Amino acid sequence: MNLSLFQKIIKDFQIRLLPSLTQRDLKLSFIKDMSLTIVGARRGGKTYRTFQLLHDLSRQEVRKENVCRIQFNDHRLRSISIDHLHLIDEAFYSLYPAKQMKEVVYFIFDEIHRVTGWEDYILYLLENPLHRILLTGSTSKLLKGEIASALRGKNFAVELFPFSFREFIRHYRVEEDTISSLGQSNLRQMLQKYLEQGGFPGLLDLEEHLHIELLQSYWDTMVLRDIIEAYPRDNINITSFNHFSQALLSRVSCPMTVRKLMSNLEFAGLSFSPETLYRYLHYLEEAFMLFTIPIYSKSEKMRNRNYRKVYAIDWALADAIAPGEGIEITKKFENMVFIELLRRGYQVFYYLTKENYEIDFIAVAKADQKKAVHLYQVCYQFSDPGVRDRELRGILKTASFLGIQDAYVITFNEEETIDLKGFKVNVLPAWKWLI
């Protein structure tokens, strides 16, 4: 590893043309004396969001010569260690000595967290007030845990999910017209496509018959890079791990307990300890591959003794990986609503009434100082009277008990306002709610 290699990497990027892209809605703001990190699932669009930043900087007349970008998945950097990182800024300022301590310089590092001890280098760069540092990573350790601690509170992380419905229709140049008959028809068609295709950017212009194979390759890469290689001392058996993860994905939008999964796997001839499965589950969540949510309760004991519900980062990904016939449309629809709630910044739970009626989502607004609480039921088809009764039961008692003012039923296409003894429930079609 030498200075000339980093000079070449820096210059090669600066002379590259930036790719065209679909505008993402995630806002990026640099905070004084802090690095900014984009975290999220692999292949979710983090790299292209940094390209979008560079497009924005170009419109602000910031030259590419003021950008130092290093991608740590570059094969030439396979053997890089903490001892080499100082060569990055040395290489940049050897190319542009007049910029040192005189101009703002943007350092963009993809997947630098794979270099042991990298945090100290970021803290060193932050000592220069003219440095702006943007990191990307596919591990939640950048949000919390030992990495966040090692950065001593000097890192601000934002989560990027696969394409939202708004971004999806923007890519296909479909207007956000919820008023006209034609506009509504177009949005319904796009919602059906979104449910089938999911939100991973790489599928957007790909022939449909290749979708499943690409999603399966994404999953394999996530398992290899973000779990197997990230935890080499665990000696994880890929076959056993895949059996466990497939069992989880087959329960998307459903209740889940590790002990029940362990029993099912043992019935299939596979033996796991509870500790191993809890560790595997942690790795999957850490890599943003799936999420589990607890019951809504102030009691930790209550949260721990009740089942959790499991959701995938992308419903089409879950459908491609789950064994058998995959995930039914109603479960994918619920998964889609869950991811949108996360994207909007909510902390999400489910709820059970004393009568054991389940409320799909209790969403708590994390950014709201009052911690506003909202109730969501998700129902793909709401017109059947039996389905309506099942979805509406428990809403009034739950809203009253938890002090909830806003309750919604998200459907594929139905829309109305329902009066439950003076409490209003807003029934909204997903194609309208999502935008």
Summarised one tens digit per residue, pLDDT across range 411-435 is: 999 999 999 999 999 999 999 999 9
Least confident of 186-195, 235-244, 410-419: 235-244
Question: Could you tell me the pLDDT band of residue 268, with boundaries at 50, 70 and 90?
Answer: confident
The amino acid present at 374, given as its one-letter code, is H
Two tokens at 142? 């950048």
Q: What DSSP designation does 229 have?
A: T
The average pLDDT across 304-309 equals 94
CA dihedral 60, 62, 63, 66 (to 10 degrees): -160
Query: Which of 32, 29, 18, 6 lies closest to 109 in space, CA to CA?
Result: 6
**Residue 140, pLDDT score:** 75
The SS3 of residue 385 is helix
Question: Could you tell me the pLDDT band of residue 148, with boundaries at 50, 70 and 90?
Answer: low
Question: Could you tell me the pLDDT band of residue 346, with boundaries at 50, 70 and 90?
Answer: very high
CA distances from 212 to 206, 217, 222, 290 (A): 11, 9, 15, 18
What is the share, in percent, of the chain residues with pLDDT greater than 70?
A: 97
Question: For residue 412, what are the contacts with CB-CB under 8 A and spacing of at least 6?
Answer: 188, 191, 333, 380, 381, 429, 430, 431
Give the C-alpha separation, 273 to 263, whole Å: 10
The average pLDDT across 54-78 equals 94
Question: Could you tell me the pLDDT band of residue 369, with boundaries at 50, 70 and 90?
Answer: low
**Residue 142, pLDDT score:** 67
Q: Kindly tell me if the per-residue pLDDT of 143 is higher than 70.
A: no
Residue-averaged pLDDT of the chain: 93
For 346, list phi and psi in degrees, rounded to 5: -85, 150
What structural domains and CATH numbers belong to the chain?
Answer: 3-159 (3.40.50.300), 240-433 (no CATH)
Top-confidence residue, 350 or 117: 350
The SS3 of residue 253 is coil
**Residue 255, pLDDT score:** 94
Question: Could you tell me the pLDDT band of residue 151, with boundaries at 50, 70 and 90?
Answer: confident
Q: Kindly tell me if the per-residue pLDDT of 368 is higher than 90.
A: no
| Residue 403 exposed, middle or buried by CB count within 10 Å (0-12, 13-18, 19+) | exposed
Residue 345: Cβ within 10 Å count = 13
Question: Could you tell me the pLDDT band of residue 52, with boundaries at 50, 70 and 90?
Answer: very high
110 in Cβ contact with 47 (< 8 Å)? yes
The average pLDDT across 244-271 equals 88
The average pLDDT across 376-396 equals 94
Question: Could you tell me the pLDDT band of residue 145, with boundaries at 50, 70 and 90?
Answer: low
The average pLDDT across 301-327 equals 94
The average pLDDT across 135-141 equals 83
Q: Kindly tell me if the per-residue pLDDT of 156 is higher than 60.
A: yes
**Residue 239, pLDDT score:** 84
What is the share, in percent, of the chain residues with pLDDT greater than 90?
A: 80
**Residue 211, pLDDT score:** 97
Question: Could you tell me the pLDDT band of residue 73, with boundaries at 50, 70 and 90?
Answer: confident
The average pLDDT across 87-112 equals 96
Least confident of 130-134, 207-211, 369-373: 369-373
